[in-house]
Amino acid sequence: MTDIETLPADSFLGPKRYKISCRCLRCNRQYSYVTSRLSDDDRQCPRKACKAAALEEEVERRARNMAAIIATQTPPGHIGDKVIVKAIDTTAQVVMEDYKFTDLKDGIRHGESVAPKLPPAQQKLADGFFGGQAMKDRLGGNKKRQREMDIIGKRAMAGAYANMAMNPSFAVPGRRGESPLTLVRTERLRDERR
């Protein structure tokens, strides 16, 4: 049995507090505690005998689980048995064999790219895109434009333009945010079975 009572916050604009009253299923004792999160599990009974009994039950449960693991000869957390893991591993193997990319990143998080680093020559070209010798040759010795391009290059390398992408539908004529697809006409097909 659990009863929940709402209490005022401890401080100005602090989180709500809740007084939770419980009854122990072992000893039938009532106890309560105060918390600011309702998502947590109920706390154990504060009696030493109940805590010892709960610990003993946990040890027995773990022993049964270990006996089942030994009997079935299967480890509990087998990694790599899912289809998606096999698909990722196969894709990485194909890329490494076909395209000779052997330095793929493997400790990535969701949404990160596994693309390998550029070869040194291409990395040098990419780094010199804004401020390299080729850019200076294109500007024809204009010192002011070279300084502006150096500033833009430094900002780009620092990631200042990372969140400036625009939704492609905004570039299409029409109202802003409107779908770029245009409805031409609708047709109603007749039923040939009649």
pLDDT tens, residue by residue, 144-188: 877 887 788 788 888 888 777 776 666 666 665 566 667 777 877
CA–CA dist 106, 108 (Å, integer): 6
Q: Where are the domains of the chain?
A: 2-72, 79-117, 118-159
Mean pLDDT of the chain: 79
Rg value, the chain, Cα:
32
CA–CA dist 34, 24 (Å, integer): 17
pLDDT tens digit sequence for 45-65? 888 998 899 899 999 999 999
Per-residue pLDDT band at 91 (split at 50, 70, 90): confident
At 19 the three-state DSSP class reads strand
CA–CA dist 7, 19 (Å, integer): 7
Per-residue confidence (pLDDT) for residue 64, from 0 to 100: 93
| pTM over the 0.85 mark | no
Give Cα 9 distance to the centre of its chain: 33
The share of the chain scoring above pLDDT 70, in percent, equals 79
